[in-house]
A and B are shown apart, each in its own frame.
Chain A
Amino acid sequence: MGVVIDAHLVVRRGAFTLDLALTAAPGEVVALLGPNGAGKTTALRALAGLTPLSEGHLHVDGEPWHDRPAERRAVGVVFQDLLLFPHLSALENVAFGPRCQGVRRREARRLAAEWLDRVGLADQAARRPRTLSGGQAQRVALARALAVRPRLLLLDEPLSALDAHTRLTVRAGLRRHLAAFDGVAVLVTHDALDAMALADRLVVIEDGAVVQEGTPAHVARHPRTDYVARLVGLNLYRGTARGHSVALPGDTVTFNAAEALDGEVFLAFPPSAVALFRTRPDGSPRNLWEATVGGIEPHADQIRIHLEGPVPAAADVTPAALAELRLTEGDRVWAAVKAAETHAYPA
């Protein structure tokens, strides 16, 4: 079926410029991932027609949308704070869109009831948003956005307002609805897990520009910026590869990587692949460097050690290992990484 969205969004506001090219195919779920202030929400508002483009274009199903106001775009938006109309019941909230599209009152209410049923809230139709739980309100907002039969479904941090437990169930429900949706869904989030779980493709934005794009699996394994590396929990470096050997700048440490490459590369390994020693271990000097312990903190059921020095890195060790090493901040340690867990890819 080809392309649903073909967009080049440029929005200038003061010193900030968003410049984002985006294409998506029918049924695709794209996550815009990035730190706060990167321009994700601006991009979403530009797609919705709530923020005008300074430049660029937006075509949806081949039609130019960039000069249409929001009310004439077939979009459905789930806002970060949901923005359910407080004076209307759940049913009236969902029926609002169809009513604006000219659907007759009775028919709009029937459609709304159907959507509420689909999100499992048939019995909450008469409730005011204020009286709904966070998860229920989130589902009403989704039903309201879908009830206008959008070609473009926009979700702004859809799970951020929910507590951890609700988040799990709502995320599962959301994935189901997104799978059934035949338009393009664009999801804005700063949560890697949400992005990985829900999206077919990640677009990482930093400072208004795309820094990386790809499937969740690919991005997770091949981060290209510190932000992405931190997000997916990898240590990331730039170096020069010659075969399996990767030298970091200044020849501080030389790594053996699993891949054989030539030229500028990224080198990544997970904190769990780092082993720590009080004294210099025997064997190859490769994948081995000396560091200072900068910080120690619990991380899930592991302990995360922040290493400082020429090769800053995070290392995860078990509490038992930490006890054995008897490490405190400021200690000197030796760090080693297994070559099999060290990945190199072109920069």
Chain B
Amino acid sequence: MLVLPALIGLAFLVLPLLGLLVRAPWSTLGTRLARPEILDALRLSLLSATLATLLCLLVGVPLAWVLARVDFPGRRLVRALVTVPLVLPPVVGGVALLLALGRNGLVGRWLDRWFGLTLPFTTAGVVLAEAFVALPFLVISVEGAVRAADLRYEDAAATLGASRWTTFRRVTLPLIAPGVGAGAVLCWARALGEFGATITFAGNFPGRTQTMPLAVYLALENDPQAAIVLSLVLLAVSVVVLAGLRGRWVL
């Protein structure tokens, strides 16, 4: 009963990848891969996705903890807000980021005026755009883990003299580690493939804001072969990293 739909589902996922593999210019692959633009874009993608994930961990884990543990008025609304980037077209997310953090944005203008800090057209802008889009993946995953964690271990820690912070660090965090790990992997994967918010908010410049998905998009304009090569690289890197991390964290 379940095998046929499962096979159709698998084919649906694999077929487009197969398309990439079949159309790849295998004979010239070596020389194309060695081109510095590709390495630049790949380096920038890995760096920005990793930084975005760290940023999400830094703010997302406490946010998830608060959502799961602290009962405050408007919690449902806040939870809904957290998931907004999931349904928002990333391009709209990029526009929203521009309106908030752009040079003339709500907050951005003060950043510019007071600190001379502008985020668009910088790698920091790429990291922010990716973090914005990827944060819900981390928060949802971690919140689930916090909810599932046995509160009584925290009681036990308290009776042993542990402060709230110590309890969080030495008991809660290790207990929810698998959830945090899974969330971080999803978050990283989403950040790696981010395109719309990044190109809208951070722009496109090789080595600074041109990540792999942007390079793929621009290459499509005049050199589809290059686009396929770039896609293959992105695909290979994601598969290797996800397979490695999923094995450790999720399964």
Contacts and interface: CB of A to CB of B under 8 A. Distances in A.
Interface of A: 48-50, 69-73, 75-77, 79, 81, 83, 85-88, 96-97, 100-101, 144-145, 148, 154
Contacts of A88: 174
Given A96-B170, A100-B166, A83 B156 contact: yes
Interface of B: 150, 152-153, 155-163, 166, 170-171, 174-175, 177
B153 A48 contact: no
B160 to A, nearest CB: 4
B229 to A, nearest CB: 44
Given A85-B171, A100-B166, A77 B153 contact: no
Contact of B158 (A49, A76, A145): A49
A83 B160 contact: no
A144 B158 contact: no
A309 to B, nearest CB: 47
Contact of A77 (B150, B159, B174): B159
A85 B158 contact: no
Nearest to B162: A100
Contacts, number: 60
B171 A70 contact: no
Among A73, A87, A88, A154, which residue has the most Cβ atoms of chain B within 10 A? A87
Contacts of B163: 71, 100
Contact of A148 (B152, B160, B170, B174): B160
B158 A79 contact: no
B160 A79 contact: no
A83 B152 contact: yes
A96 B157 contact: yes
Given A85-B171, A87-B174, A87-B175, A79 B156 contact: yes
Nearest to B174: A87
A85 B159 CA distance: 13
Given A71-B163, A96-B170, A100-B166, A83 B158 contact: no
A144 B160 contact: yes
B161 A100 contact: yes
Contacts of B152: 79, 81, 83
17 contacts: A49-B158, A72-B161, A73-B159, A79-B155, A79-B156, A83-B150, A83-B152, A83-B153, A85-B156, A96-B160, A96-B162, A97-B160, A97-B161, A100-B162, A100-B166, A148-B160, A154-B159
A50 B171 contact: no
B61 to A, nearest CB: 17
B155 A83 contact: yes
B155 A148 contact: no
Nearest to A69: B158
Contacts of B175: 86-87
A87 to B, nearest CB: 4
Contacts of A144: 160
Contacts of A86: 175
A286 B226 CA distance: 109
A98 to B, nearest CB: 9
B171 to A, nearest CB: 6
Contacts of A145: 159
Contacts of B153: 83, 85
Q: Which 7 A-B pairs have the closest CB atoms?
A: A100-B161, A97-B160, A70-B158, A83-B156, A87-B174, A77-B159, A100-B162
Contacts of A71: 158-163
Given A71-B162, A96-B170, 9 more contacts: A70-B155, A70-B159, A76-B159, A81-B152, A83-B156, A85-B171, A85-B174, A87-B174, A100-B161
A337 B121 CA distance: 98
B51 to A, nearest CB: 28
B155 A50 contact: yes
Nearest to B177: A87
Nearest to B160: A97
Among B158, B159, B162, which residue has the most Cβ atoms of chain A within 10 A? B159
A90 B157 CA distance: 15
B170 to A, nearest CB: 7
Contacts of A72: 161
A46 to B, nearest CB: 13
A96 B167 CA distance: 10
A285 B226 CA distance: 111
B160 A100 contact: yes
A75 B159 CA distance: 6
Contacts of A83: 150, 152-153, 155-156
B157 A48 contact: no
A346 B139 CA distance: 65
A142 B11 CA distance: 56
Nearest to A141: B156
